[in-house]
């Protein structure tokens, strides 16, 4: 066991910090890679990666993660040599830096799981040696140290960037700017963002109050910039963001061309950030309390209804009813607020894939870019984490199988660079996440041929499949269109896992494809699993909870309406025949003799529908879904999303409607969903 292993809350705290730093570093590495390929390296990006490595080294040291601290220290030295112009940024060096980023991410995860830690330690030590050798290959450094005041106030890096700008013949200006103390962070970031489009920030130095003497509650800075643009153009762009004046580097420090009035701001030590990091397990406990609160609310409502018939208690009944309605409103607000605490924007997920796409594309010799839409759409943090790997598998399959090599794309009239588009949007109580590519598309006949060759399906079974069902052959365990196994694909592992994981989230995945144009995989999932509205029903002696976000309609029907056997058949719903089954029958209960009247729920997602038959609707509740104990993993749990406690009334199974649909659709003899009633 490695002595520096972290445990419990300390490990999770470290992992949260490290993930944020590595995510930022990963985005910058993608930008750096594009710059190296284009022959134009943005020094601010290189410096940002250096700062991330420096911060990560410090965090790893504080949390005593020796392997990460050692590797990030060597990475920091390498990046320092690169940003100071002491070493050449070759393709090989960039590749090693990206390998270090990937290894650091795995080391961070190992701080919690400890899985493969000795192997990772050895790998880190080997990579550190390679990085150190790369950083030691120095190139000639031009010029000598600057004379005068700047030799004292500028760091070595800032001096290097100033010299480089002068050698490149760029204009070097000093921008005097003012930022209110109360909004300094936000104001400075907005200023830097505007400035980025016009110039390189070489250094930011404290300044005396120049054009705004007499104003209190403000910070003043002299910002040294290098640009190919004229001072008037730069100043016009910065005027609204806090710039007071702009002058050439060699001009008198008293020269001021513009003054901008500003309002006074009171002195304060308050921070502007509103974010607090909360452990998801603490939110789980709150969700359990909210669930119990909801059950008590329902009990109160039932009691209020029962005593309405008692005339002697009518006055108290009215007061109780009023309290119950007020409680109901407040509970709805509490429920919404607590769910909101668990929600994170999907940019939190999408941002992870840019580095991954760049890495896989380089390994496969292809050129790729990522486009995102709707990444401000919010989803439960736990569902986001469960989606991370399925989408990663999808993207890897897109690059390996769907995107053509650059030369083939050009010959077909396509851009050399392939595109993966990740998009998200809300659809009712569900979120839709789409992964779209502009590759070769899927050929259902080719998929059928491959499935036959691998013995995954028979000719007889193939003959009865529709186009959509042929496309879904990619989800068969062991299916692959590649004959040779590579580092990334060909083993037949991936898309079956994708479907299994999404089904576990009570979601579905659909395919749209056009040969030669591309494919779109559409994932539909619930917004949250933390707490859901469910309808409690009974069939025989058993009770079940059906999530309302999957319910299309609840109907009372006559036994003769069901077409087929007593326990399963079809039901006419609109212009379609929907497969119908008794809940007890689905879960292997003995057949029960039912009266003439029964109830049904038509449920499903997208175009998939199922009709679940049962005896009685009990009530609607807000429930917290809890996973089944490990003991149940050895049993067939198809159609079960989890369980919920019923406040002294025992545990009720929460149904996974998607799982039930999948199970029923496999029975071709008994069910044929979606057929039109003639």
Tens of pLDDT, residue by residue over 585-639, are: 888 776 555 555 578 888 876 667 888 888 888 888 777 777 676 666 556 677 8
Tell me the pLDDT tens digit for each residue of 168-217. 888 888 888 888 887 777 888 888 888 887 888 888 888 766 444 445 56
Residues 78 and 259: their CA atoms lie apart, in Å, by 43
pLDDT for 673 beyond 50? no
Least confident span in 5-14, 128-137, 365-374: 5-14
Q: Tell me the HSE value of 461 on the side-chain side, using a 13 A CA sphere.
A: 14
CA angle 353, 5, 501 (to 5 degrees): 35
The CA-atom distances, in angstroms, between 398 and each of 421, 437, 440 are 11, 7, 10
Question: What does the pLDDT read at residue 457?
Answer: 83
Residues 303 and 53: their CA atoms lie apart, in Å, by 62
Question: What does the pLDDT read at residue 211?
Answer: 45
Residues 417 and 460: their CA atoms lie apart, in Å, by 41
Q: pLDDT category, 582, cuts 50, 70, 90?
A: confident
Question: What does the pLDDT read at residue 33?
Answer: 84
Tell me the pLDDT tens digit for each residue of 256-269. 344 433 344 344 33
Q: pLDDT category, 644, cuts 50, 70, 90?
A: confident
Is pLDDT larger for residue 645 or for residue 515?
515
Cα 179 from chain centroid (whole Å): 34
Question: In this prediction, what percent of the chain has a pLDDT beyond 90?
Answer: 8
Beta bridge partners of 577: 572, 675
Those residues whose C-beta lies under 8 Å from the C-beta of residue 432, and which sit 6 or more positions away, are 424, 425, 426, 522, 523, 524
Is pLDDT larger for residue 481 or for residue 44?
44
Question: What does the pLDDT read at residue 219?
Answer: 81
Question: What does the pLDDT read at residue 419?
Answer: 93
Residues 497 and 391: their CA atoms lie apart, in Å, by 11
What backbone phi and psi angles, to 5 degrees, belong to 641? -85, -25
Question: What does the pLDDT read at residue 565?
Answer: 40
CB 599 within 8 A of CB 557: yes
Beta bridge partners of 610: 603
Is pLDDT larger for residue 153 or for residue 499?
499
Instruction: Match 């066991």 to its residue by tokens.
Output: 1
Tell me the pLDDT tens digit for each residue of 401-457. 899 999 999 999 999 999 999 999 988 778 899 999 999 999 888 888 888 888 888
pLDDT for 538 beyond 80? yes
Strands 368-373 and 418-427, how do they pair? parallel
Is pLDDT larger for residue 570 or for residue 673?
570
Question: What does the pLDDT read at residue 216?
Answer: 58
Question: What does the pLDDT read at residue 669?
Answer: 40
Residues 536 and 413: their CA atoms lie apart, in Å, by 57
Q: In the structure encoding, which two tokens stand for residue 619, read together? A: 């009530």
Comparing C-alpha atoms, which of 349, 353, 356 is closest to residue 379?
349
Residues 116 and 630: their CA atoms lie apart, in Å, by 24
Q: How many other CB atoms sit within 10 Å of the CB of residue 664?
A: 20
Residues 41 and 51: their CA atoms lie apart, in Å, by 17
Least confident span in 45-49, 230-234, 622-626: 622-626
Cα 436 from chain centroid (whole Å): 16
Overall size of the chain counted in residues? 678
CB 524 within 8 A of CB 508: yes
DSSP secondary structure letter of residue 248: E
Q: In the structure encoding, which two tokens stand for residue 421, read together? A: 């588009």
CA angle 655, 657, 662 (to 5 degrees): 125
Tell me the average pLDDT across 503-521: 88
Is pLDDT larger for residue 173 or for residue 278?
173
Q: How many other CB atoms sit within 10 Å of the CB of residue 16?
A: 12
Question: In this prediction, what percent of the chain has a pLDDT beyond 70?
Answer: 77
Q: pLDDT category, 548, cuts 50, 70, 90?
A: confident
Q: pLDDT category, 1, cuts 50, 70, 90?
A: very low
Q: Tell me the chain's radius of gyration from C-alpha atoms.
A: 31
What backbone phi and psi angles, to 5 degrees, belong to 148? 85, -155
Full 3-state SS string of 492-527: CCCHHHHHHHHHHCCCEEEEEEECCCEEEEEEEEEC
Q: pLDDT category, 136, cuts 50, 70, 90?
A: low
Tell me the average pLDDT across 98-124: 77
The CA-atom distances, in angstroms, between 61 and each of 48, 124, 612 are 20, 16, 57
Question: What does the pLDDT read at residue 438?
Answer: 93
Question: What does the pLDDT read at residue 269?
Answer: 37
pLDDT for 99 beyond 50? yes
Q: In the structure encoding, which two tokens stand for residue 539, read together? A: 């069939």
Beta bridge partners of 400: none
Q: How many other CB atoms sit within 10 Å of the CB of residue 10?
A: 12
Average pLDDT, the chain: 76
């Amino acid at each position: 066991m490695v002595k520096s292993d972290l445990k419990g809350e300390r490990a999770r705290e470290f992992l949260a910090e490290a993930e944020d730093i590595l995510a930022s570093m990963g985005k910058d590495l993608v930008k750096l890679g594009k710059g190296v390929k284009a022959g134009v390296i943005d020094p601010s990006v290189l410096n940002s990666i250096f700062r991330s490595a420096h911060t990560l080294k410090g965090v790893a040291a504080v949390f005593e993660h020796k392997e990460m601290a050692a590797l990030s220290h060597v990475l920091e030295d390498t990046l320092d040599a690169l940003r100071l112009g002491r070493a050449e940024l070759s393709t090989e060096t960039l590749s090693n830096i990206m390998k270090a980023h990937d290894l650091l991410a795995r080391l961070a995860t190992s701080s919690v799981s400890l899985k493969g830690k000795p192997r990772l330690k050895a790998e880190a030590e080997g990579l550190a040696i390679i990085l150190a050798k790369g950083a030691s290959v120095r190139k000639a450094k031009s010029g000598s140290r600057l004379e005068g005041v700047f030799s004292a106030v500028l760091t070595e890096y800032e001096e290097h960037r100033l010299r480089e700008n002068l050698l490149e013949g760029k204009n070097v200006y000093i921008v005097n700017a003012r930022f209110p103390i109360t909004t300094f962070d936000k104001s400075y970031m907005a200023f830097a963002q505007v400035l980025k489009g016009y110039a390189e920030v070489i250094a930011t130095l404290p300044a005396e109050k120049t054009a705004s003497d007499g104003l209190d509650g403000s910070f003043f800075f002299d910002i040294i910039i290098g640009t190919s643009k004229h001072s008037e153009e730069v100043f016009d762009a910065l005027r609204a963001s806090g710039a007071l004046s702009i002058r050439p580097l060699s001009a008198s420090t008293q020269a001021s061309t513009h003054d901008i009035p500003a309002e006074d701001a009171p002195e304060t030590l308050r921070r502007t950030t509103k974010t607090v990091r909360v452990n998801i397990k603490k939110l789980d406990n709150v969700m359990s309390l909210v669930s119990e609160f909801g059950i008590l609310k329902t009990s109160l409502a039932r009691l209020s209804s029962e005593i309405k018939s008692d005339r002697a208690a009518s006055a108290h009944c009215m007061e109780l009813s009023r309290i119950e309605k007020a409680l109901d409103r407040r509970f709805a607000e509490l429920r919404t607020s607590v769910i909101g605490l668990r929600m994170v924007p999907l940019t939190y997920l999408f941002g992870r894939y840019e580095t991954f796409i760049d890495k896989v594309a380089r390994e496969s010799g292809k050129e790729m870019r990522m486009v995102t839409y709707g990444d401000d759409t919010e989803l439960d943090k736990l569902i986001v984490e469960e989606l991370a790997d399925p989408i990663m598998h999808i993207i890897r399959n897109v690059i390996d199988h769907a995107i053509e090599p650059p030369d083939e794309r050009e010959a077909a009239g396509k851009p050399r660079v392939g595109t993966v588009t990740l998009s998200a949007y809300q659809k009712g109580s569900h979120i839709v996440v789409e992964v779209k590519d502009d590759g070769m598309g899927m050929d259902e006949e080719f998929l059928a041929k491959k499935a036959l060759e691998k013995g995954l399906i028979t000719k007889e079974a193939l003959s009865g499949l529709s186009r959509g069902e042929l496309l879904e052959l990619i989800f068969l365990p062991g299916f692959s269109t590649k004959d040779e196994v590579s580092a990334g694909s060909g083993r037949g592992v991936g898309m079956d896992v994708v479907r299994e994981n999404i089904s576990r989230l009570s979601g579905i995945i659909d395919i749209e494809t056009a040969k030669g144009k591309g494919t779109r995989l559409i994932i539909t999932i619930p917004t949250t699993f933390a707490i859901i509205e469910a309808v409690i029903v009974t069939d025989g002696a058993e009770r079940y909870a059906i999530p309302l976000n999957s319910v299309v309609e609840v109907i009372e029907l006559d036994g003769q309406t069901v077409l087929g056997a007593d326990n399963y058949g079809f039901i006419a719903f609109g212009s379609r025949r929907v497969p119908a089954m008794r809940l007890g029958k689905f879960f292997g209960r003995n057949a029960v003799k039912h009266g003439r009247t029964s109830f049904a729920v038509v449920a499903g997602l997208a175009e998939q529908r199922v009709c679940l038959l049962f005896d009685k609707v009990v009530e609607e509740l807000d429930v917290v879904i809890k996973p089944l104990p490990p003991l149940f993993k050895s049993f067939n749990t198809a159609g079960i999303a989890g369980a919920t406690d019923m406040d002294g009334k025992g545990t009720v199974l929460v149904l996974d409607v998607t799982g039930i649909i999948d199970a029923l659709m496999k029975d071709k003899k008994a069910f044929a969903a979606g057929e039109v009633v003639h």
